Each structure stands twice: as structure tokens, then as C-alpha cells.
Amino acid sequence: MSIQKVRAHISQNEALLFERSSPGKRGYQLPGLDVPPVDPAAALGAENVRVEIEGFPEVSEVEAIRHFTRLSTWNYAIDYGMYPLGSCTMKYNPRVNELVARTEGLAWAHPYQPEALSQGAMEVMARLEAALLEITGMDAVTLQPAAGAHGELTGILLVRACLEKRGNPRKKILIPDSAHGTNPATAAIAGYAVENIRSSERGTLDLAALEQAVTEEVAALMVTNPNTLGVFEENIARVSELLHRKGAMLYMDGANMNALVGITRPGDFGVDVMHLNLHKTFSTPHGGGGPGGGPVAVKKVLEPFLPVPRLKRAGKKWTWNYKRPDSIGRVRAFYGNFGVLVRALAYILAHGGEGLRNATLDAVLNANYLRKKLEPYFDLPYPLPNMHEVVFSDDRQSRRGVRTGDIAKRLIDYGFHPYTVSFPLIVHGALMIEPTETEGKLELDQFADALVSIAAEVESDPDLVKSAPHSTRTSRVDEVTAARRPVVRWKPASTGSQAAG
């Protein structure tokens, strides 16, 4: 008796619903009509009757349920496993946040309902502002910006408005090569030229190079702290002094506040303006295009220029203050992404001050734990103490023809979402890993074991890694073409093609 090769019963290579279709199948069954049939077009009007969809799959209810349930298990999510994406802080969003955000009076509040009916929502925003000011050590904050990059632009526009008020908006923004990639775009959109500052051999700001670059033409320095290497800028107070001496300002990209909350405050080491990513540090769901939250916190000198309207206490009630002549104006419809703000406040209050500090310590501990586990197998170009993330390079593996993208794709076969590939740019072939405080030791050990196993595969069978992933329906794709010309339309099987995109 010959043994035939049988397709796995449950497989990641789930067939398309179109391929499961069988003519005549229905997902429902209804009893026969006990009234005379009516022509739908005659009863409803032909314009209100949808024609049959050509090629629409015909399957039973149980087939449809099983199909989409199986697909859902291959739709990677934070509820399924860790996201080791460095510099992007993809952590679990506690369900209590979702419960609070769905409170009827908050979830269904119209953004333009009268102030008298909005006191609870305004109180939420006021309390969140107060909490963020305590966490950052700044003097005022706006909750309007819809995301981190939006917060960046708002912050630099505030700097520009302040300098214009003084008589000279200046011409340049300084940006270290260890900063986030959106920083140069932000500066350019705000009307500034960008000057790059090279990092020192230690991976931190080069004070000598910075001092030479800070002239009367410089409006601000945009620094990410900790930087994209996961390293804290140990001379940040000195950096602030250099800028202020020349009348320039210090902007801090707060995307990595996950490593600072409860430990140190940007306002205390000389930052003039910064943004926060609520969807990173304060756990609002991240990804899928939003919505997000990018509040901007400022020192007193920039407060007059914050976007309108501003929350204002009038007796026992909250009101909106639009009478701010120096304001840069609105940067967002309504008052920001309110549901995101509710989630952030819920997260902060649930943790409390000590809990937030503990979350930071756990994030730093997890990153250093992975560093120690993986350091014998991957090169670490910048060995300074790291905080919430660690950046390795593929130098050792590239000698066998395997690059960081290959290793990331092989991780998929082990059931993990890939790390951040090839960023930051100052590390050639970067493997950027941030476990966040979300992950426990078991998950970290499994992740580290997977990477150690892949490092061994690179030595014994590099082609196995270079051709990964092997367990997915689609293996290697032309990523450049896919990005520029995505195919998202299904073609019937008779054409010899399957769904793509």
C-alpha cells in the first residue's frame, strides 16, 4: 500500500475562501415562504437591489467560521506573542484601559457638545495633563497632536513661533544621526534646513562637534533620549547648556520615555519641548494606522504658543480658552483623539507612581537580559550600558552571506514577530530589539533561544536562513515592487492566478 502525501489538517497555508467554494453551498437555511414571492426589484426599486457578486465564494457557515478563526491565529498580535520591535515600544494594552474607554458617557460624547455636558471629559483631559507634567517635569502640555510625528511638528512649530516673536526664527535644526527618522522630515516641513550631527564612537552626542555646530543660525537640536541605540545621552544637561547659551532650544523626541518614567524627568535636565507617544509609553493600542496620541509638553517660555483651545478653570467648571493671540492655532480637529487620552489616564492611574517606575525598571531589565543572552552570538557595535532596547549587528552572520533581513524572516518560522531591521542607520545590518516590560522570562527565553538557534543555522546551513520563511503561504516576495505596485484584487482561479496583496 503506497503512502500518499496528505496536506496538514490545520496549516498556516490556509486555502483561500475562494478555493474552498463549492457551487450551491449556503451559510444559512431558512424555511420556505408562507406568502407569495415578491420580486425584490419591483418592491424596493431596481436601484436598491444589489446584483450578484461575480465569483463570490459559496461555503457553509461552519466552513466560514473555521476559515476565519484559523486565519485569526496567524494574524500576529500582542495578545498572541511579543513584538520585539526596537524603538517602537509595542507593548500589551491592559484590558481595564479598554473597559474605561468604553464607558458610555465617554465613548459616546460628541466632541462639540456644550461645555456644560462635557465637564467629565474635560476633567479627564485636565487630569491627564497634570499627570504628564508630573512625569516629564515640564510646565504645560497640549493633548491635541494625533501621533508622535504630529507632536514633533507641533513642537518645532512652537519653537519657530517663539523665536519669531523674539525677532528671528533662525534657519537650521540640528539632528544627531542617532535620532528617529521622522525628525528631519519634521524640521523640513517646519521650514528649517537640517544639519546632521555625527555620534561619537561611544554612540552618544559628540559634544565637541555639537559645540562647533551651534551657531546663531540654529533654532534647536532634536535629540532622541535614550537614543536609537538604547543608550542614555549622559551629557544631556551639558548639551542643554550649549544650546541655551546660543539662544537655541532643546527638543526631545519622547518616543523612548518607556525607559525614563519614574527614573528621571526631561524638564529637570534642560529640555524645552518634547512629545510623548501615548501609544508607546502609556500603552494605547499601537499600529494599524492609528489613532494615536502625541501630547507636547513645554517649558513656560513656550506656553503662550500652544495650540488653541486651552483648558481653563472658571470657578468650579472647565471651559475652553480661545483667546490666545500668540498661539500657533489648531493642529488637530476637535481636542485630540479623546479615546486614546482616556486609555492613557487609565493606565497611569492603575499603575500609580511606584507602578510606573516599576514598569520602567522591568523594561530596562528585560532589554539587558536579552543583551546578555544574545551577546555571545551577535556583534554589539556600541557596548555602552543600554536601557529599554539593544541594537546588535549582522557583521558575524554576514560573513556567511546572511543579513539581518534573513534572520528576521527566519524568526517567523519560529513563531515570533521580527525585530526592527536595518535601523538605526548608524549600525550596519542592525538588529534592533525592544522587549518592553510586558514580557515575562519564559517569553524572553524562547525568543533568545530562537535567535541562538538561528545563529547556529547560519554556521551550519546558511542557505536555510537565506531562503526563509518556510512555514508561510508566501515566502520571499519582491518587497520593492510590492510596496510600489501592490496587487490587492482577487482574480478567479480560471485565470491561473490566486489572490494577491
Whether residues 31 and 129 fall in one domain = no
Whether residues 199 and 291 fall in one domain = yes
Q: Please tell me the predicted confidence (pLDDT) of residue 294.
A: 94
Asked whether residue 4 is domain-assigned, the answer is no
Q: Quick one: how far is CA 415 from the chain centroid?
A: 21
Whether residues 273 and 418 fall in one domain = no
Whether residues 413 and 271 fall in one domain = no
Whether residues 160 and 202 fall in one domain = yes
Q: What is the full DSSP assignment across 61-122?
A: HHHHHHHHHHHHHTS--TTTS---BTTT------HHHHHHHT-HHHHT--TTS-GGG-HHHH
Asked whether residue 170 is domain-assigned, the answer is yes
Rounded-to-integer distance, Cα 227 and Cα 491, Å: 46
CATH number at residue 400: 3.90.1150.10
pLDDT, tens only, 269-310: 999 999 999 988 998 877 655 678 999 999 999 999 999 999
Asked whether residue 500 is domain-assigned, the answer is no
Asked whether residue 341 is domain-assigned, the answer is yes
Asked whether residue 83 is domain-assigned, the answer is no
Residue 50: which domain range? 17-64
CATH number at residue 333: 3.40.640.10
pLDDT, tens only, 312-346: 999 999 999 999 999 999 999 889 899 999 999 99
Place 1 in a pLDDT band, splitting at 50, 70 and 90.
very low
Q: Which residues face 310 on adjacent strands?
A: 321
Q: What is the full DSSP assignment across 153-195?
A: HHHHHHHHHHHHHHT---SEEEEETTS-THHHHHHHHTT-EEE
Domain end residue (candidates: 350, 374, 396): 350
pLDDT, tens only, 161-217: 999 999 999 999 999 998 888 999 999 999 999 999 999 989 999 999 999 999 999
Whether residues 246 and 305 fall in one domain = yes
The candidate with the shortest Cα–Cα distance to 130, out of 327, 280, 353, 286, is 353
pLDDT, tens only, 435-455: 999 999 999 999 999 999 999
Whether 235 has a pLDDT exceeding 80, the answer reads: yes
Whether residues 416 and 296 fall in one domain = no
Whether residues 109 and 208 fall in one domain = yes
The total of structural domains in the chain comes to 3
Q: Please tell me the predicted confidence (pLDDT) of residue 48.
A: 93
Whether residues 151 and 58 fall in one domain = no
Whether residues 138 and 222 fall in one domain = yes
Whether residues 346 and 366 fall in one domain = no
Asked whether residue 147 is domain-assigned, the answer is yes
Q: Please tell me the predicted confidence (pLDDT) of residue 109.
A: 92
Q: Which residues face 276 on adjacent strands?
A: 254
Asked whether residue 7 is domain-assigned, the answer is no
Whether 501 has a pLDDT exceeding 90, the answer reads: no
Asked whether residue 387 is domain-assigned, the answer is yes
Place 135 in a pLDDT band, splitting at 50, 70 and 90.
very high
Whether residues 306 and 230 fall in one domain = yes
pLDDT, tens only, 242-274: 999 999 999 999 999 999 999 999 999 999 999
